[in-house]
Amino acid sequence: MILAFAESRGTTLRKAAFEAVTAARELGDDVHAIIAGPSGIAAQASQLDASRVLVAEHPGFAQYNPEATAALVAERVKTGGYRAVFFVSTAQGRDLAPRVAAKLGAAFAPDVTSVATNGEEIVVTHPVYSGKAIATLVLTGTPAVIAARPSTFQPARTDSASPSVETIAPVGDPSASRVVVTALKIGGGGKLDVSEAAIVVSGGRGLKGPEHFNLVEDLAASFGNAAVGASRAVVDAGWRPHSDQVGQTGKVVSPDLYVAVGISGAIQHLAGMRTAKTIVAINRDKDAPIFKVADYGIVGDAFEIVPALAAAVREARRSG
Amino acid sequence: MKIAVLLKRVPDTETRIKLAGTKIDETGVKFIANPYDEFAIEAGLQLKQKSGGEMVAISLGPDSVQETIRTALAMGADRGLHLKTDGQPYDTLSVAQALAAELKGYDLILLGKMAIDDYNHAMAPALAELLGLPCVSAVTALTIDGTKGTAEREVEGGLEVLSFSLPAVISTDKGLNKPRLPTLPGIMAAKKKPMESKPAALGAARVSVRALTLPPERPAGRIIGEGAAAVPELIRLLQTEAKVL
Task: Write out pLDDT tens, residues A267-315.
Answer: 999 989 998 999 999 999 999 999 999 999 999 999 999 999 999 999 9
How far is A275 from B209, CA to CA, in rounded Å? 22
The total number of structural domains that make up chain B? 1
- Last residue of one domain, picked from the residues A176, A210, A233: A176
Find the CATH number of the domain harbouring A154: 3.40.50.620
Find the CATH number of the domain harbouring B106: 3.40.50.620
Residue B226 lies in a domain: no
Q: Answer yes or no: do A274 and B159 touch at CB < 8 A.
A: no
User: How confident is the model over A165-183, as a mean pLDDT?
Assistant: 96
Q: Calculate how close chain A gets to B52, using CA atoms only, in Å.
A: 25
Residue A270 lies in a domain: yes
Pairing mode of beta strands B223-226, B9-11: unpaired
Q: Which of A83, A117, A111 is nearest to A97 (CA)?
A: A111
Residue A188 lies in a domain: no
Residue among A96, A295, A316 minimizing CB distance to B245 = A316
Give all strands of the β-sheet with B207-213 in edge-to-edge order: A114-118, A121-128, A133-139, B207-213
Residue B170 lies in a domain: yes
Residue A239 lies in a domain: yes
Question: Which structural domain, as residue segments, surrounds residue A111?
Answer: 2-176
Residue B215 lies in a domain: no
pLDDT for the residue numbered A188: 54
A301 touches chain B (CB under 8 A): yes
Q: Does residue A134 sit in the same domain as residue A82? A: yes
Q: Does residue A132 sit in the same domain as residue A26? A: yes
pLDDT surpassing 80 at residue A191: no
Helix, strand, coil shares of chain B, percent, nearest 5, are 30, 35, 40
Find the CATH number of the domain harbouring A254: 3.40.50.1220
Which residues of chain B from 41 to 100 reach within 8 Å of chain A, CB to CB?
90-93, 96
A248 confidence band (pLDDT: 50, 70, 90): confident
Residue A189 lies in a domain: no
Q: Does residue A230 sit in the same domain as residue A302? A: yes
Q: Calculate how close chain A gets to B118, using CA atoms only, in Å.
A: 5
A249 confidence band (pLDDT: 50, 70, 90): confident
B123 touches chain A (CB under 8 A): yes
Q: What percent of chain B has pLDDT over 70?
A: 100
Question: Which structural domain, as residue segments, surrounds residue B12?
Answer: 2-199
Q: Does residue A280 sit in the same domain as residue A230? A: yes
Q: Which of A181, A60, A143, A55 is nearest to B162 (CA)?
A: A181
Q: Does residue A45 sit in the same domain as residue A88? A: yes
How far is A76 from A70, CA to CA, in rounded Å? 10
Residue among B117, B120, B244 minimizing CB distance to A278 = B244
Residue A253 lies in a domain: yes
The total number of structural domains that make up chain A? 2
Q: Does residue A103 sit in the same domain as residue A211? A: no
Taking CA–CA distances from B21, the nearest residue in chain A reads A135
**Segments of chain B scoring below 50 in pLDDT:** none
Residue A152 lies in a domain: yes
Residue A194 lies in a domain: no
pTM score above 0.95: no
Q: Does residue A102 sit in the same domain as residue A226? A: no
How far is A89 from A97, CA to CA, in rounded Å? 8
- B173 to A280, B42, B46, B74, B176: CA distances (angstroms): 29, 12, 16, 22, 6
Does ipTM exceed 0.90?
yes
- A176 to A171, A172, A179: CA distances (angstroms): 11, 8, 9
Q: Which amino acid is at A66?
A: P
Q: Provide the 8-state DSSP code for A125.
A: E
B130 touches chain A (CB under 8 A): yes
Residue A43 lies in a domain: yes
Number of H helices, E strands in chain A: 8, 18
B125 touches chain A (CB under 8 A): yes
Q: Answer yes or no: do A193 and B156 touch at CB < 8 A.
A: yes
